[in-house]
Amino acid sequence: MAFPKISKSARWKILIVVLLAAVVSGVVWKWPEIETWLFPPPPVITTPQLACAEVQGRSIYFNSIALPGLEKFRPDLLTPEDRDPASSRRRAFVQAPQNPKLFRQLDRQFRFDTLVLVGDPSNYQRLLDHLLDPAPEKRDFRLVYLDHWACIFKRDAARAWEPADAGPVRQRLGKIRARDQATFLAMAAGKMLAIRMPDAAKRWLDEAQALDSRSLDVLGGLAGYKISIGRWIEAEALADKALKKNPEFVPALAAKITAMRATKHHKDAFIFSKRLNELLPEEPMRLWQHAQLAHEARENVAEIAALTRLVALAREDGRPAAEYEFRLGEAHAFEAINNAEHAREALEHLRRAVADPLLSAEQRKFAEERITIIRERTKLK
């Protein structure tokens, strides 16, 4: 059967209708992203404004990510040294989240009454674990405030924060749109997971999902929850779902890397870690995580590169580098099996590590034994 002839003007009309339909379909499909662009979330969601308002104390420790918020919302809390990038105090503050021993040295020096930890908990998880490891009655710092941006600890607080204490904050956010409330709940749930409150975190994530099931923050939060209970495959599936919407969504990439690492997919975890490096600023904790992943994937060249950069950054900032030197010495020692030129580098870094009083007793013993073996095998002094 022959198709009827269509006039030129009719063809144009049909084309316009088809194009309009395509545009409308695209707008509907992408509306959440378009809505966010047209009507961005309020500052209480996009900045640590709420947390900064809660900070009180005369001697305050804060991590590096907290500084911009404090400068903007609570400059009255900062000392001249806090504002000086070259000060020894500020340089030490940068390193303390990764080094509980250094944090305790600072605490003995400054006797902190308040700790402000802002941003992704993976950047300060070692310090969190140090604060939370003692039995509750023996903890010198207790959590007193938590929201989607920050955790605040106080020395000798009468009791620790509970989810019910977030009532005033949640009431204040009750008037903002549902998707922004979902963001708050999902990001705060991530902090709850970091402080070992998985059940409360799951309740908040369920609330967030009911408010906005398409939210990337909710998907990332659910992936984090699955990781906390060891459901690695489910965690990776949720991360993949988020990454399908946004391949550069950092929390989903981080969750996927953790899940792959836990299931011994070390090569894949390392590959995704390289992607994460491209999205995040050069920061010690990220470099340290990348070095660990490179080690597990047996990517020795990449491990040495990351550790070398960590040592250089620590020296530039006047920060301790004992653990970096130790790991770098170990990496060079491994490479020396096939390339004797690495033996001298291994000795140099292991000796620097041993000379640093912050190196643990176990690592010191291991490093000294390794130095002896290398010297015996290579005749190096």
Residue pointed to by tokens 């300060």: 124
The alpha helices in 66-143, defined as continuous H runs, are: 67-73, 80-83, 88-95, 100-110, 125-132
Domain map of the chain by residue range?
43-161, 175-263, 278-381
Quote the tokens at residue 253.
Answer: 């990439």
Q: What is the pLDDT along the chain (381 residues), one digit of tens a residue?
A: 454 566 667 667 777 776 666 555 554 445 455 555 556 899 999 999 999 999 999 999 999 999 999 999 999 999 999 999 888 898 889 889 988 988 999 999 999 999 999 999 988 999 999 999 888 888 999 999 999 999 999 999 999 999 999 999 999 998 899 999 999 999 999 999 999 999 999 999 999 999 999 999 999 999 999 999 999 999 999 999 999 999 999 999 999 999 999 999 999 999 999 999 999 888 888 899 999 999 999 999 999 999 999 999 888 877 779 999 999 999 999 999 888 889 999 999 999 999 999 899 999 999 999 999 999 888 887
Residue 114 DSSP SS3: strand
Quote the tokens at residue 27.
Answer: 């707008």
Q: Do 175-263 and 278-381 come out as alike in CATH topology?
A: yes
Other CB atoms within 10 A of residue 328 CB: 26
pLDDT of residue 53: 96
**pTM listed for this prediction:** 0.82
Contact 314, 95 (CB under 8 A): yes
175-263 maps to which CATH number?
1.25.40.10
Q: What angle do CA 270, 197, 62 make, to 5 degrees?
A: 70
Residue pointed to by tokens 């308002």: 53
Quote the tokens at residue 61.
Answer: 């420790």
3-state secondary structure 259-284: HHHHCCCHHHHHHHHHHHHHHCCCCH
3-state secondary structure 151-167: EEEEECCCCCCCHHHHH
278-381: in CATH 1.25.40: yes
* DSSP-assigned letter for residue 121: G
In angstroms, the CA 233 to CA 191 distance is 22
In angstroms, the CA 310 to CA 14 distance is 61
Quote the tokens at residue 379.
Answer: 């005749």
